[in-house]
């Protein structure tokens, strides 16, 4: 929210209190509190009628400094809060002198000047990363009497910011106003399904605003040299997360807010959907599955979208008896084909659903202040909302889902959860403003934990649309309702890269786009992008996404990229382990891997898939693509053709190709199978060395699909020969081949 009229004036009716001087500091075991009157204190009389801004500095986790700015503290507690993984035992150092007070955790220090006005510096070692200065902190009252608190942190020369959730506008957030407020707004506006009050800075730090309610960010758009963030109320808490690299920031941020769960191996295969409003029954589903098999197209998951239930009944979790008279038998037959099954759900209960009356009588639905059930007609006629703050409502809702799991359903697409009203009463007394974004967290947590309880840890997976901070713990998330155009393909990629910058480890999108029917060129280009994402789903709105509906070449393109992805499972699985273990996303903005290369700061049409594979989707019908190659010799993953960077490159690609390049010196595992994702990845793995350097030696771990020990190889390159030695794992269990790409054509050698 903007409070100023230019730099010098406030907007009409707005008044602001700012800390003018530090009157005193009170230390404690884990930090200190600063008391800063709004103005100078020159005598005892100046202490009268003088507001005081209270600012506490603390460290909730290693390498993280927390700051709470407050005015009046007598308000009632407001729930919910983000469930942070804090640590009160890690070492911190507090040092207070006559000139400053400081707190150090790891290499991050916050230093508050005690003289000459308000100045707070955040330093990594001796390097200043950001600061709060004289006009940064404000306790604001607007013309309606509403109170807000804002902070403004300094932006350095050339500093760029990323993240703030899955945002489809410009990837670099500088110059933008961003409202962290979940909305069902598609992918073509400033609204977002997944709003996360966290940004990642190219200067080697991140900032997490610890508020689930509406947070407004002015990223160099109110004061061009500062990032302002504000919330309504009398206090504001934020955390500065140390780097120095983007990966370090993401590790610390996800340690604080939660790491992505491990998802099952089968989920990395191709998902095929009925699409949304298309006409389908079991015969249609069987024809789709048969068609994929007849064309030798590997398929892992079949998804039933909304109309698996009767119209106007969403949700009642009852299969439409007209189109699916034998759901148990159908699910059994799909399982016999080696497929997993996903069904669509949402947290809304239509008035016509039998669950509406059950929920109303039991008090499981969100209520108006007068005690009546909150309802509206958007999406489903007379729909209500499940109150996940009520443990009995959770048990009721998950009991209905468990019946589907017992029937043979394997996972759920958890759609919606964004349009949450704020004029309602929650069972546990939660503040409606704070519940608006947080509802998405509760909703997906409830469903994900049911799947974990029923299927086991590592076997749960969602296809979720809404999220906020911490939602990365319940994967997978997909990009929502995009158009079926090249422009929408690009905006979807920007959204995925922004979400990755916000701590989300996995991400997907609708191959071909959702709204409308893509022309064959769009569909085929999107296939390559979709299969080189962490998760891959064919899904649309009013038209099918089976490839033969477009042309025969689309079938060949889908086969090619599906099999490439399945061959890459040893590499992708290791990348997924990094996402689960360290919070580093599978699909990474270039800035995450190359923070010291100034050319990558604004790149949003290419990305790194894991640490070693550069992907530049083709976003044009003619196949022309321009992309950036960082320093070194990069090798096309399939053809062996090489490019030397740093350089901008323009190429033209057929539908069966795109720039997908191996990093200099990379060792990438190719699996022995290309027909399914959940084979035993270490067995028969081919370790390909791309443009290695003489004397190169590194260890490569290939996970096992059951989260077992897997295998670890030591790979060496000497005198033009690549070798691999098994250093962990049963030597009798694994065969390994080493292929070396040191020139345009690979030389294959036994390992």
Contacts 24+ apart (CB under 8 A), 728-731: 728/701, 729/682
Alpha helices in 258-296 (DSSP H): 282-294
Q: What sign for the dihedral angle of Cα 300, 488, 573, 258?
A: negative
The β-bridge partners of 714 are 699, 725
**DSSP SS3 for 400:** helix
CA 17 to chain centre: 36
If you count them, how many residues does the chain have? 751
Answer whether 229's CB lies under 8 Å from 215's CB: yes
Q: Spot the catalytic one: 415, 459, 491, 515.
A: 415
Does an H or E element contain 490, and which?
helix 486-500
- State the Cα–Cα distance between residues 38 and 22, nearest whole angstrom: 9
Three-state SS annotation for 401-462: HHHHHHHCCCEEEECCCCCCCCCCECCCCCCHHHHHHHHHHHHHHHHHHHHHHHHCCCCCCE
Helices (H) and strands (E) in the chain, counts: 11, 42
Answer whether 234's CB lies under 8 Å from 63's CB: no
Q: Token match 């989300």: residue? A: 504
- State the Cα–Cα distance between residues 311 and 308, nearest whole angstrom: 9
Q: Spot the catalytic one: 481, 483, 612, 678.
A: 481
Closest CA to 260 of 510, 464, 566: 464
CA 745 to chain centre: 37
166: annotated active-site residue = no
- Phi/psi at 404 (5° precision): -70, -40
Q: Which DSSP symbol is given to 11? A: P
**DSSP SS3 for 290:** helix
Closest CA to 304 of 321, 281, 270, 329: 281
- State the Cα–Cα distance between residues 112 and 115, nearest whole angstrom: 9
Question: Which two three-digit tokens encode residue 380?
Answer: 């489903």
**DSSP SS3 for 360:** helix
Closest CA to 549 of 284, 344, 338, 343: 284
Give the relative orientation of helices 552-567 and 569-582 as an angle to the nearest 10 degrees: 60
- State the Cα–Cα distance between residues 402 and 393, nearest whole angstrom: 14
142: annotated active-site residue = no
316: annotated active-site residue = no
- State the Cα–Cα distance between residues 308 and 322, nearest whole angstrom: 10
Cis omega (within 30 of 0) on the bond before 244? yes
- State the Cα–Cα distance between residues 666 and 689, nearest whole angstrom: 6
Q: Spot the catalytic one: 242, 418, 483, 612.
A: 418
- State the Cα–Cα distance between residues 426 and 388, nearest whole angstrom: 9
Q: Token match 């076997």: residue? A: 459
Q: Which DSSP symbol is given to 508? A: B
- State the Cα–Cα distance between residues 106 and 104, nearest whole angstrom: 6
- State the Cα–Cα distance between residues 34 and 48, nearest whole angstrom: 19
Neighbours of 253 (CB within 10 A): 28
Q: Which DSSP symbol is given to 425? A: B
Question: Which two three-digit tokens encode residue 94?
Answer: 């507090």
Q: Token match 């759900």: residue? A: 345
Q: What angle do CA 10, 238, 23 make, to 5 degrees?
A: 70
Question: Which two three-digit tokens encode residue 432?
Answer: 């409606």
- State the Cα–Cα distance between residues 351 and 380, nearest whole angstrom: 8
**What residues are labeled active site?**
415, 418, 481
């Amino acid at each position: 929210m903007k409070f100023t009229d230019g730099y010098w004036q406030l907007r009409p009716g707005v008044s602001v209190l700012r800390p003018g001087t530090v009157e005193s500091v009170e230390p404690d075991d884990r930090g200190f509190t600063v008391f800063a009157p709004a103005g100078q204190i020159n005598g005892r009389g100046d202490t009268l009628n003088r507001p005081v801004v209270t600012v506490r500095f603390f460290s909730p986790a290693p390498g993280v400094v927390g700051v709470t700015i407050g005015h009046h503290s007598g308000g009632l507690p407001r729930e919910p809060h983000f469930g942070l993984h804090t640590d009160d035992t890690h070492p911190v150092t507090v040092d207070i002198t006559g000139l400053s007070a400081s707190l150090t955790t790891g290499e991050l220090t916050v230093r508050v000047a005690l003289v000459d006005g308000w100045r707070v510096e955040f330093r990594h070692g001796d390097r200043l990363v950001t600061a709060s200065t004289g006009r940064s902190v404000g306790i604001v009252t607007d013309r309606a009497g509403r109170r807000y608190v804002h902070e403004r942190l300094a932006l350095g020369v050339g500093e760029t910011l990323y993240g703030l959730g899955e945002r489809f506008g410009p990837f670099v957030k500088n110059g933008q106003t961003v409202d962290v407020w979940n909305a069902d707004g598609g992918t073509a506006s400033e609204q977002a399904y997944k709003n996360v009050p966290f940004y990642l800075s190219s200067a080697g730090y991140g900032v997490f605003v610890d508020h689930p309610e509406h947070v407004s960010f002015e990223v160099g758009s109110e004061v061009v040299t500062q990032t302002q963030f504000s919330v309504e109320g009398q206090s504001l808490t934020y955390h500065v997360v140390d780097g120095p690299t983007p990966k370090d920031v993401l590790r610390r941020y996800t340690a604080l807010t939660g790491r992505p769960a491990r998802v099952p191996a089968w989920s990395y295969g191709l998902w095929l959907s009925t699409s949304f409003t298309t006409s389908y029954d079991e015969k249609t589903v069987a024809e789709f599955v048969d068609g994929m098999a007849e064309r030798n197209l590997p398929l892992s998951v079949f998804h039933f979208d909304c109309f698996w239930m009767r119209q106007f009944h969403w949700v009642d979790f009852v299969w439409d008896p007209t189109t699916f008279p034998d759901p148990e038998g159908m699910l059994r037959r799909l399982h016999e084909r080696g497929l997993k099954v996903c069904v669509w759900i949402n947290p809304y209960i239509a008035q016509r659903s039998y669950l509406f009356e059950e929920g109303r009588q039991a008090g499981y639905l969100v209520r108006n202040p007068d005690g009546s059930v909150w309802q509206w007609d958007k999406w489903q006629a007379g729909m209500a909302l499940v109150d996940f703050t009520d443990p009995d409502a959770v048990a009721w809702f998950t009991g209905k889902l468990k019946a589907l799991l017992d029937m043979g359903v394997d996972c759920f697409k958890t759609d919606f959860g964004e349009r949450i009203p704020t004029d309602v009463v929650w069972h546990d007394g939660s503040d409606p403003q704070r519940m608006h974004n947080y509802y998405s967290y509760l909703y997906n947590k409830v469903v994900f934990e049911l799947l974990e309880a029923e299927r086991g840890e590592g076997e749960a997976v969602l296809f979720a649309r809404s999220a906020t901070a911490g939602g990365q713990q319940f994967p997978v998330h997909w990009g929502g309702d995009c158009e079926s155009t090249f422009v929408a393909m690009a905006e979807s990629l920007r959204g995925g890269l922004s979400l990755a910058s916000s701590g989300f480890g996995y991400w997907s999108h609708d191959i071909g786009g959702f709204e409308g029917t893509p022309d064959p060129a769009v569909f085929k280009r999107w296939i390559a992008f979709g299969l080189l994402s962490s998760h891959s789903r064919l899904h649309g709105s009013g038209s099918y996404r089976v490839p033969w509906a477009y042309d025969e070449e689309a079938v060949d393109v889908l086969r090619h990229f599906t099999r490439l992805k399945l061959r890459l499972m040893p590499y992708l699985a290791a990348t997924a382990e990094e996402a689960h273990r360290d919070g580093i996303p599978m699909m990474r903005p270039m800035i995450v891997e190359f923070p010291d290369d100034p050319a990558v700061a604004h790149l949003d049409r290419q990305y790194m898939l894991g640490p070693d594979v550069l992907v530049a989707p083709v976003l044009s019908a003619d196949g022309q693509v321009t992309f950036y190659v960082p320093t070194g010799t990069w090798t096309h993953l399939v053809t062996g053709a090489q490019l030397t960077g740093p350089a901008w490159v323009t190429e033209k690609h057929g539908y069966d190709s795109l720039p997908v390049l191996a990093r200099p010196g990379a060792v990438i595992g190719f699996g022995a199978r290309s027909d399914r994702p959940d084979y035993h990845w270490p067995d028969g793995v081919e370790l390909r060395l791309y443009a290695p350097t003489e004397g190169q030696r590194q260890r490569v771990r290939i996970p096992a699909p059951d989260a077992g020990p897997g295998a670890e190889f030591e790979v060496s390159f000497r005198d033009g020969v690549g070798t691999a030695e098994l250093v962990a794992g049963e030597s009798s269990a694994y065969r390994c081949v080493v292929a070396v790409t040191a020139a345009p054509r690979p030389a294959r050698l036994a390992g």
